[in-house]
Homo-oligomer: A and B are copies of this chain.
Amino acid sequence: MIYFNNDYSEGCHEKILDALIRTNMEQTPGYGEDAYCKGAAEKIRRLCGREDLAVHFLVGGTQANLTVIDAALRPHQGALCAVSGHIHAHETGAVEATGHKVLTVPSADGKITATQVAQAVKAHRTDASFEHMVQPKLVYISNPTELGTLYTKEELTALADTCHGLGLYLFLDGARLGYGLAAKGNDVTLADIARLCDVFYIGGTKVGALFGEAVVIGNPALAEDFRYLIKQHGGMLAKGRLLGVQFDALMEDGLYFQIAEKADRLADQIRDTLAELGVPMLVPGITNQLFPILPDGILAELAKKYVFCEQERVDESHRAVRFCTSWATRPENVEELCRDLRGLCR
């Protein structure tokens, strides 16, 4: 079988593996206070163009989301997000388990708009019973979104302006950030994100690392005592340097961006093939995730050879599915898939 079902089926990029092997028997301080973590954080600060950023390395996305949100909010405050937001849909109530409500707004493409945020906040503040409702205080977005869509610089700027104008934090979940930054048509840079968001993270797990998300905090109000929160939520690795070593390698000589770019170009190849064949997409996307809508019959054929994800049933005879490329995808497999699609869809 050829796997296109997700971007976390393999271990890590060889350069990261080399770094882990090379440093394996070094003795370092525990709990993320080693030189590798410091070095990786420094590289991230440089790439973001801000020397004042706090950088912490966490093991996974759900952990990063719950720790950041719990650190940011007072008990009566909630996180506003798209109904498809990962914290709402796929984290077993991790945010609620810290006591906070997730407040959703509708979204067809995984994104939310500055206008939606402004309206939700206005609706809260003008309601006579506002104290009987959870106060929106943080906006959670994912970029790329769960549907593979991307915010433009204009959209992100509007969101940031709206949030800050209203006294809300903007938090960007970048579990697949690399694939977003490397997408053709993307106009947002890491420095833009660091400038516009109060806090965000650079996903490693899905972009070449064994595991790890680099949480980057630009707003000092959110940075205070953050390590206590990491420890309290079970996110402080005794051998914290494992995260530092990996991100140090990822951020060295643009590795992170190169491997994301490779994955995006392979996805583009599939995307172009699907377009050429007139296959409709559930949502338009430009990153490493594709959501084609295909007839059940063709999907049954494809499933004999390829592994992909079910997304949703579209009508009686069609389903939207997800194909993913990753840093580890082999070009010959993409070519084979395109060939097979051409054979089946024509």
Contact = CB atoms under 8 A, between A and B. Distances in A.
A308 interface: no
Interface in A190-247: 205-206, 210-211, 225, 227-229, 231-239, 242
Contact of A11 (B12, B20, B235): B20
Interface stretch (A37-45, A71-79, A111-119, A264-272): A71-79
A70 B75 contact: yes
Nearest to A330: B25
A229 B78 CA distance: 13
Nearest to A103: B93
Contacts of A101: 93, 96, 102
Interface stretch (A26-34, A150-158, A276-284): A26-34
Contacts of A10: 24-27
B234 A235 contact: yes
A95 to B, nearest CB: 8
A92 interface: yes
Contacts of A211: 237-239, 242
Given A233-B234, A238-B8, A132 B91 contact: yes
Interface stretch (A59-67, A181-189, A295-303): A59-67
Q: Is the interface of A mostly helix, strand, loop or mixed?
A: loop
How many copies of this chain sit in the oligomeric assembly?
Answer: 4
A158 B123 CA distance: 36
Given A232-B94, A239-B210, A71 B75 contact: yes
A96 B100 contact: yes
A60 B232 contact: no
Contact of A128 (B61, B70, B310): B310
A98 interface: yes
Contacts of A234: 59-60, 62-67, 94, 233-235
Given A60-B237, A131-B92, A74 B21 contact: no
A133 B25 CA distance: 29
B91 A131 contact: no
A14 to B, nearest CB: 8
Contacts of A12: 24
Given A231-B132, A239-B211, A75 B98 contact: yes
B94 A233 contact: yes
Interface in A122-163: 128-129, 131-135
A76 B228 contact: yes
Contacts of A100: 93, 96
Contact of A90 (B129, B227, B310): B129
Interface string A285-318: 0000000000000000000000000100000000
Interface of A: 3, 6, 8-12, 14, 17, 20-21, 23-31, 59-67, 70-71, 74-76, 78, 89-94, 96-102, 128-129, 131-135, 205-206, 210-211, 225, 227-229, 231-239, 242, 310, 328
Query: What 6 pairs between A and B have smallest CB-CB spacing?
Result: A63-B234, A11-B24, A76-B228, A93-B101, A9-B27, A92-B232
9 contacts: A6-B30, A8-B238, A11-B242, A75-B98, A76-B228, A89-B133, A92-B134, A93-B232, A131-B225
